[in-house]
Structure formats: structure tokens, C-alpha cells
């Protein structure tokens, strides 16, 4: 078995501790999986609202894009790495957009 059940309690009780500039120096990116049967769209949106990312991308895949869409995920991760390199932690530098990647 390549995938195992995850610790649901750990995911539901996760907290972002700290505040201010030190927390904001760490850039956050969220990749939405559009055909996810584990994390429904409303759950993903709640996670995005809870810990505002600097960028939001959408991937046309299920919960495990590393299996179902590896080339699209790889391309998206390269794009994220390239656009996140200059993250400075200011609200004015945040980008809120979605990019759809076709399934492999």
C-alpha cells in the first residue's frame, strides 16, 4: 500500500503559533486539488482563509497529484519556487491567483 490513512486529528487541530513579522517572513503557498475526495473544496477554502498564503494555485488532480498528475505537479512546484524566491513578508507583495494545470 502506497498511501495510508492520515492523522485526521492532527490536521484538524493544527495551529499556527506566533504572530507579527517573524511569522510573515515564511511564505505560504496553497495548491488546491480540484478533484480531491479527501479535502472537499469548502475544507480547502477554510484552510486558505485560516493561514493566508501568498499564492493559491489550482491543480486539476485528486488528493495525490504526485501519483495522478506528477508532471503537472512538478511544473507547478517549479513555478512556485521561482515566484516565491523573492518573498519578503509584506502584504503588498502577496499574490492571490489561481493557475489551472491540466491533468497528465
Whether the full predicted model's pTM is greater than 0.75, yes or no, is no
Q: Domain segments of the chain: what residues? A: 25-101
pLDDT digits (tens, 9 = 90+) for 49-103: 988 888 899 999 999 999 999 999 999 999 988 886 655 444 444 454 445 555 5
Q: Are 30 and 41 in contact (CB under 8 A)?
A: no
Q: Are 56 and 98 in contact (CB under 8 A)?
A: yes
More confident residue, 64 or 26: 64
Q: How far apart are CA 23 and CA 25, in angstroms?
A: 5
CA Rg, the chain, in Å? 15
Q: Looking up cell 484552510, which residue turns up?
A: 47
pLDDT digits (tens, 9 = 90+) for 40-61: 999 999 989 988 888 899 999 9
pLDDT, mean of residues 35-40: 92
Amino acid at each position: 500500500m502506497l498511501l495510508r490513512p492520515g492523522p485526521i486529528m492532527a490536521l484538524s487541530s493544527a495551529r499556527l503559533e506566533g504572530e507579527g513579522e517573524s511569522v510573515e517572513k515564511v511564505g505560504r503557498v496553497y495548491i488546491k486539488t480540484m478533484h480531491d475526495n479527501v479535502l472537499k473544496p469548502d475544507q480547502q477554502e477554510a484552510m486558505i482563509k485560516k493561514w493566508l498564503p501568498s499564492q493559491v494555485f489550482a491543480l486539476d488532480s485528486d488528493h495525490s497529484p504526485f501519483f495522478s498528475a506528477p508532471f503537472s505537479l512538478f511544473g507547478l512546484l517549479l513555478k512556485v519556487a521561482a515566484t516565491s524566491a523573492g518573498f519578503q513578508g509584506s502584504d503588498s507583495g502577496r499574490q492571490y491567483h489561481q493557475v489551472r494545470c491540466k491533468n497528465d
